[in-house]
């Protein structure tokens, strides 16, 4: 999921306008950046497989650091403590830590029970699995998240020159492309 996480970042931007957008967008995807780096380093493992309909699926069977409940909460806490101690960026602490942890929450809502607790402790797996309720459920829920969050973000420009700008629609366009492209690639691979 790309677009849903970015959309949450933009919704947080609407609420916390003093926090830089780039920092929020990095924060909402921090767990995925960690996953990419650790997978390159072969610390974490995943495999690709194809469903009977020919769609490509990711099997995140070994992601005990990047997508674990404990470590996601830990990353959010570290981000909070880093910024809350900084003189000029104290107000970044809450939005950035919320952004970091939102990644796990959104994944928990959408994915089946594949998210581990940690690389230690109870062998629990978390995931509500809304994305597997019915065919294309992930696309339907993610579309809802994208449009709701974009609406929240877009409301801040009311009665200003920005409200008439093409850039608002370009932002929605980028979100829609990042919503559809991974789905399309899954079916093209």
Q: Does 49 bind other proteins (CB under 8 A)?
A: no
Whichever of 91 and 117 has its CB closer to other proteins, that residue is 91
| Angle between helix 137-154 and 93-110 (nearest 10) | 160
| Residues β-bridged to residue 59 | 47
Contacting other proteins (CB under 8 A), which of 19, 66, 102, 178? 178
Number of residues that bind other proteins (CB under 8 A): 35
Q: If 0-12 CB within 10 Å is exposed, 13-18 middle and 19+ buried, where does residue 121 land?
A: exposed
CB of 26 to other proteins, least distance (A): 7
Q: Residue 134: CB partners within 8 Å, gap ≥ 6?
A: none
Q: Residue 114 Cβ, how far from other proteins at the closest point, in Å?
A: 17
Distance between CA atoms of residues 21 and 12, nearest Å:
9
The DSSP symbol for 156 reads: G
Q: Which residue has the tokens 């200003």?
A: 160
Nearer CB in complex with other proteins: 13/67: 13
The residue among 8 and 133 lying less far from other proteins, judged by its C-beta, is: 8
Measure the CA–CA gap between 61 and 40, rounded to whole angstroms: 15
170 contacts: CB under 8 Å, gap ≥ 6: none
Contact call for residue 65 and other proteins (CB under 8 A)? no
Residue from the set 15, 21, 136, 187 that interacts with other proteins by CB under 8 A:
21
- The residue within the footprint of other proteins, chosen from 77, 81, 181, 184 (CB under 8 A), is 181
| Binding residue for other proteins, selected from 1, 12, 13, 146, defined by CB under 8 A | 13
**Shortest Å, Cβ 177 to other proteins:** 8
- Closest C-alpha among 34, 14, 9, 35 to residue 24: 9
- Interface contacts to other proteins, rule CB under 8 A: 2, 6, 9-10, 13, 20-22, 25-26, 29, 32-33, 36, 39-40, 46-48, 58, 157, 160-162, 165, 167-168, 170-171, 174, 178, 181-182, 185, 189
């Amino acid at each position: 999921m790309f677009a849903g996480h970015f959309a949450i970042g933009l919704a947080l931007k609407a609420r916390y306008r003093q926090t830089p957008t780039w920092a929020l967008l990095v924060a909402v995807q921090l767990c995925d950046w960690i996953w990419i780096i650790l997978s390159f380093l072969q610390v974490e493992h995943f495999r690709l497989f194809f469903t009977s309909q020919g769609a490509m699926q990711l099997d995140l069977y070994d992601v005990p650091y990047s997508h674990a409940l404990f470590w996601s909460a830990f990353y959010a806490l570290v981000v909070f403590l880093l910024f809350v101690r900084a003189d000029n960026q104290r107000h970044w602490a809450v939005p950035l830590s919320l952004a970091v942890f939102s990644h796990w929450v959104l994944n928990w809502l959408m994915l089946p029970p594949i998210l581990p607790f940690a690389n230690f402790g109870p062998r629990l797996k978390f995931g509500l699995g809304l994305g597997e309720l019915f065919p294309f459920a992930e696309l339907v829920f993610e579309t809802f998240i994208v449009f709701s969050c974009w609406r929240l973000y877009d409301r801040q420009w009311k009665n200003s020159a920005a409200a008439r700008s093409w850039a608002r629609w370009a932002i929605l366009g980028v979100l829609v492309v990042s919503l559809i492209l991974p789905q399309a690639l899954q079916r093209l691979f």
